[in-house]
Amino acid sequence: MEILKIDHLGIAVKSIENGKTFWSEVLGMEFAGTETVEAQKVTTAFLPVGESEVELLESTSDDGPVAKYIEKKGEGIQHVAFRVANIEEALDELKAKGIQLIDQTPRKGAGGAKIAFLHPKATAGVLVELCQRD
């Protein structure tokens, strides 16, 4: 598996509008707009920083994964995403190593990326996302 870089840090927030204040107004990061991913019950907002991004995640539904995360753990870092050269090969390699996956095959994420999540039980409690952008 070829990991190219940290693609983004996913931060769960109750409100993107409120959450972006610190990142854009205090730290001066550029707010690049929002995108809703209906299948994941989330609205995302990206703030580029160097070759990576901060991704703010606001749930669009009370039963969405981000809402459940905030209910259980509060607002904060929800996942780390690594950009990989080939997500299908990465998932095959992880399966062969016995790593527990949430996604057996890639799905569509924000910005048209192919994404897949590894189960936190396999990663010392960290939700890890693999991301491929073509």
Q: Which CATH number fits the domain that encloses residue 7?
A: 3.10.180.10
d(CA 36, CA 46): 12
Q: Is the whole model's pTM more than 0.75, yes or no?
A: yes
Q: Which domain holds residue 51?
A: 3-132
Look at residues 122, 77, 85 and name the one whose alpha carbon lies nearest to residue 101.
122
Condensed to tens digits (0 to 9), the pLDDT of residues 19-43 reads 999 999 999 999 999 999 998 999 9
Q: Please give the tally of structural domains in the chain.
A: 1
Residues 109-129, mean pLDDT to the nearest whole number: 95
Residue 111: pLDDT band (50, 70, 90) is confident
- For the chain, give the mean pLDDT: 95
Look at residues 28, 25, 37 and name the one whose alpha carbon lies nearest to residue 10.
37
- Cβ atoms of 66 and 11 within 8 Å: the answer is no
